[in-house]
Amino acid sequence: MSSNHIETQAIRTQIERSQYLEHSNPLYLTSSYIFEDAEDMRASFADEKDRNIYSRYSNPNTSEFIEKICKMEGAERGYAFASGMSAVFSTFAALLNAGDHIISSRSVFGSTQTMYNNILPKWNISTNYFKINEIDKIESLIQPNTKVIYAESPTNPAVDILDLELLGQIAKKHNLILIIDNCFATPYLQQPIKFGADIVIHSATKLIDGQGRVLGGVTVGSEALIQKIYLFSRNTGPALSPFNAWVLSKSLETLPVRVDKHCENAFKVAQFLETHNKVNLVKYPFLKSHPQYELAKKQMKLGGNIVAFEIKGGIEAGRNFLNRIKLLSLSANLGDTRSIVTHPASTTHAKLSEDDRLQTGITGGLVRVSVGLEYVDDIINDLNQALN
């Protein structure tokens, strides 16, 4: 019954049905599971049996969700977390030792950046950065204690593309673990393991849920690496709740059709913005004008749902634009059915120095649109009236 097609992998799993022969996988709200007898209990705790013991370790709903992501990403095994950030933190905490060193892309999610600056240094774990167009400088950053290369592609919020295959080659050559946060692409548009990633992380809160309801995260990779992450996590407790796992597994069933439509709408929005005289620059991976257009075409099935553009007139123009928006939401989320606009320079990235902002491609007039599933002309009309 197994199939290689990602649309089928997002829907079908080998679920065991109860006596009711339900078609859709039910929600298992149970914190623990019972044993037949003393021997069953002993063998289960000795890891001699592959079964549920306690929902901090595993649960049928989280297992179903993980199984789908693993198949879609081409990974051997995974673990599901309460949020994207608990996936990022637990992955670092499980794989790194005190005193280790990370080489990271400069353009990473804000909380990941905060982790590098304020949290990992507690264990003397340090980070050096490379810019998105300076992957060739990574080798000069490697130290004897370097363990990990970490990157996102496409990046937030500037929608730049990193060469995953090149990153994979460098990681392999120096025996480093390549971790890719694949949140913006989803497992449907891009599978980093094909290009040499060892670990793939998702915030499932974004396009995987896709309807702005639940938080979730997942890390997938090889059996050996995930075993370390599993042992760390089953003892420290960042597990995804069964309810959220059930929601997310249902969401995956429609991920391919939703993302197809998100990308179709985003491409039209990007094309419209390119023609507007108040717009300096539009960044969308599948626009020919994108600096890494060829790379995006190689790595991704479609261009994703995030469009970044720069309004003429800098930070004030960006804020004025947001105040004139009527239909779209001003919200911190992305990947929702509802389109969302944000102005990174005055919000998510306001705490950075202007120099640090510019290093990650965030100019004063940069606006990020998470293009949703409303009728595309309604989205375009709202952006148009706010620009004019």
Ligand X SMILES: *Cc1c(COP(=O)(O)O)cnc(C)c1O
Residue 188 binds to ligand X (criterion: CB under 6 A): no
Residue 342 binds to ligand X (criterion: CB under 6 A): no
Residue 181 binds to ligand X (criterion: CB under 6 A): yes
Binder to ligand X among 68, 77, 147, 206 (CB under 6 A)? 206
- State the minimum distance, in angstroms, from the CB of residue 81 to ligand X: 8
Residue 65 binds to ligand X (criterion: CB under 6 A): no
Residue 84 binds to ligand X (criterion: CB under 6 A): yes
**Closer residue to ligand X in complex, CB, 182/265:** 182
Residue 113 binds to ligand X (criterion: CB under 6 A): no
Binder to ligand X among 83, 90, 113, 191 (CB under 6 A)? 83
Stretch touching ligand X by CB under 6 A, among 18-26, 40-48, 198-206, 319-327: 198-206
**Closer residue to ligand X in complex, CB, 146/244:** 244
Stretch touching ligand X by CB under 6 A, among 203-211, 238-246, 251-259, 380-388: 203-211
**Closer residue to ligand X in complex, CB, 116/184:** 184
Please state the separation of Cα 102 from the chain's center in Å.
Answer: 19
Residue nearest to ligand X (CB): 84
- State the minimum distance, in angstroms, from the CB of residue 2 to ligand X: 29
* β-pair type (177-181, 199-203): parallel
- State the minimum distance, in angstroms, from the CB of residue 188 to ligand X: 16
Binder to ligand X among 64, 73, 100, 152 (CB under 6 A)? 152
Helices 60-73, 242-274: crossing angle, 10 deg rounding: 40
Stretch touching ligand X by CB under 6 A, among 79-87, 136-144, 320-328, 348-356: 79-87
- State the minimum distance, in angstroms, from the CB of residue 140 to ligand X: 26
Strand order in the sheet with 126-130: 77-81, 217-221, 199-203, 177-181, 146-152, 101-105, 126-130
Cα separations (Å) of 197 from 74, 86, 168, 169, 228? 11, 20, 6, 9, 17
Residue 360 binds to ligand X (criterion: CB under 6 A): no
* β-pair type (340-342, 329-330): parallel
- State the minimum distance, in angstroms, from the CB of residue 189 to ligand X: 14
Peptide bond between residue 154 and the one before it cis (omega within 30 degrees of 0) = yes
Stretch touching ligand X by CB under 6 A, among 40-48, 67-75, 181-189, 192-200: 181-189
Residue 305 binds to ligand X (criterion: CB under 6 A): no
Residue 217 binds to ligand X (criterion: CB under 6 A): yes
Residue 183 binds to ligand X (criterion: CB under 6 A): yes
- State the minimum distance, in angstroms, from the CB of residue 206 to ligand X: 6
**Closer residue to ligand X in complex, CB, 84/192:** 84
Taking residue 231's Cβ as centre, other Cβ atoms within 10 Å add up to: 13
Residue 85 binds to ligand X (criterion: CB under 6 A): yes
**Closer residue to ligand X in complex, CB, 206/258:** 206
Residue 109 binds to ligand X (criterion: CB under 6 A): yes
Residue 249 binds to ligand X (criterion: CB under 6 A): no
Cα separations (Å) of 345 from 25, 157, 205, 357, 369? 43, 10, 23, 8, 14
Binder to ligand X among 156, 299, 305, 360 (CB under 6 A)? 156
Binder to ligand X among 215, 245, 282, 380 (CB under 6 A)? 215
Binding site for ligand X (CB under 6 A): 83-85, 109, 152, 156, 181, 183-184, 203, 205-206, 215, 217
